[in-house]
Amino acid sequence: MCNVAGKSLVPAPYDRQVTPEQLSALVRAVVGGAVERGALSVDVPADVVVERPRNPEHGDYATTVALKLAKQAGRPPREVAEVLAADLREQPGIARVDVAGPGFLNITFAQGALGQIAVDAVTAGESYGRTDALAGQRVNLEFVSANPTGPVHIGGTRWAAVGDALGRLLTASGADVSREYYFNDAGSQIDRFARSLVAAAHGRPAPEDGYAGDYIGEIAGQVVAAEPGVTELPAAQEQERFRVRGVELMFAEIKTSLAEFGVVFDTYFSEATLHASGALEKVIGTLRERGHVYEADGATWLRTTDFGDDKDRPLVKSDGDYTYFAADCAYYQDKRNRGFDRVVIMLGADHAGYVGRYKALVAALGDDPAQNLEILLGQLVNLVRDGQPLRMSKRAGTVITLADLVEAVGADAARYALARASVDQQIDLDLDLWSTQASDNPVFYVQYAHARIASLLRGAADLGIDLGTADTVDATQLAHPREVDLLRAIAEFPRVVTAAAELRAPHRVARYLEELAGTYHRFYDACRVLPRGDEEATATTVARLWLCSATATVLRNGLAVLGVHAPERM
Residue 9 placed within a domain = no
208 and 93 share a domain? no
Task: Give the residue among 550, 546, 549 at the shortest CA–CA distance from 455.
Answer: 549
Residue 212 exposed, middle or buried by CB count within 10 Å (0-12, 13-18, 19+) = middle
Domain annotation covers residue 126? no
Give per-residue pLDDT as tens, 253-268.
Answer: 999 999 999 999 999 9
Q: What is the CATH number of the domain that holds 389?
A: 3.40.50.620
Q: Which of 93, 109, 125 is the last residue of a domain?
A: 109
3-state secondary structure of 302: strand
Q: Both 553 and 450 in a single domain?
A: yes
Rounded distance between C-alpha atoms, residue 426 and residue 415, angstroms: 16
Is the domain of 310 the same as that of 413?
Answer: no
State the pLDDT at residue 10: 39
CB-based burial of residue 315 (10 Å sphere; 0-12 exposed, 13-18 middle, 19+ buried)? buried
Contacts of 532 (CB under 8 A, 6+ apart): none
Q: Does 401 share its domain with 449?
A: no
CATH number for the domain including 483?
A: 1.10.730.10
C-alpha dist (Å) from residue 513 to 88, 214, 439, 509, 556: 31, 40, 14, 6, 10
Q: Give the pLDDT of residue 132.
A: 94
Q: Specify whether the backbone of 216 is left (phi greater than 0), alpha (psi in -120 to 50) or beta.
A: alpha
Residue 318 burial by CB count (10 A; 0-12/13-18/19+): exposed, middle or buried?
exposed
Give the end of a domain, one of 435, 450, 466.
Answer: 435
In a domain, 521, yes or no: yes
Residue 60 is assigned to a structural domain of this protein? yes
- Rounded Cα distance between 179 and 166, Å, is 10
Do 294 and 331 belong to one domain? yes
Do 164 and 237 share a structural domain? yes
Helix axes 111-124, 481-502, angle to 10 degrees: 50
Closest of 249, 254, 253, 275 to residue 187, by C-alpha: 275
pLDDT of residue 12: 37
Residues near 447 by beta carbon (within 8 Å), at least 6 away in sequence:
412, 559, 564, 565, 566, 567, 570
Give the pLDDT of residue 400.
Answer: 86
Q: What pLDDT, on the 0 to 100 scale, is given for residue 350?
A: 87
Please state the length of the chain. Answer: 570
**504-509-513 Cα angle (round to 5):** 175
Nearest-5° Cα angle at 525, 523 to 529: 75
The reply to whether 463 and 545 lie within a common domain is yes
Three-class HEC string of 233-261: CCHHHHHHHHHHHHHHHHHHHHHHHHHHC
Q: How far apart are CA 164 and CA 562, in angstroms?
A: 8
Residues 388 and 258 in one domain: yes
The confidence score (pLDDT) of residue 52 equals 86
Residue 370 CA to residue 439 CA, distance in Å, equals 42
Q: Is residue 569 part of a domain?
A: no
Residues 257 and 395 in one domain: yes
Same domain, 556 and 478: yes
Number of domains in the chain: 4
**Domain co-membership, 307 together with 443:** no
Number of H helices, E strands in the chain: 20, 14
Q: Are residues 302 and 253 located together in one domain of the fold?
A: no
φ/ψ (deg, to 5) at 158: -60, -45
* Residue 250, domain member (yes or no): yes
What pLDDT is recorded for position 396?
A: 65
Assess if residue 138 is contained within a domain.
no
3-state secondary structure 150-219: CCCEHHHHHHHHHHHHHHHHHHHCCCEEEEEEEECCCCHHHHHHHHHHHHHHCCCCCCCCCCCCHHHHHH
Classify residue 47: in a domain, yes or no: yes
pLDDT, tens digit, 9 for 90 and up, residues 45-63: 988 999 988 887 888 899 9
Residue where a domain terminates, one of 375, 398, 423:
375
The boundaries of the domain holding residue 424 are: 143-265+379-435
Q: In whole angstroms, what is the distance from residue 546 CA to residue 457 CA?
A: 9
C-alpha distances in Å from residue 22, one per residue of 75, 113, 192, 421: 27, 12, 58, 29
Partnered with residue 94 across adjacent β-strands are: 109
Identify the CATH number of the domain in which residue 50 sits: 3.30.1360.70
Give pLDDT < 70 ranges for the chain: 1-18, 392-398
Tell me the C-alpha to C-alpha distance, in Å, between residue 98 and each of 50, 60, 79, 81, 367.
14, 11, 13, 9, 48
- Residue 161 pLDDT: 98
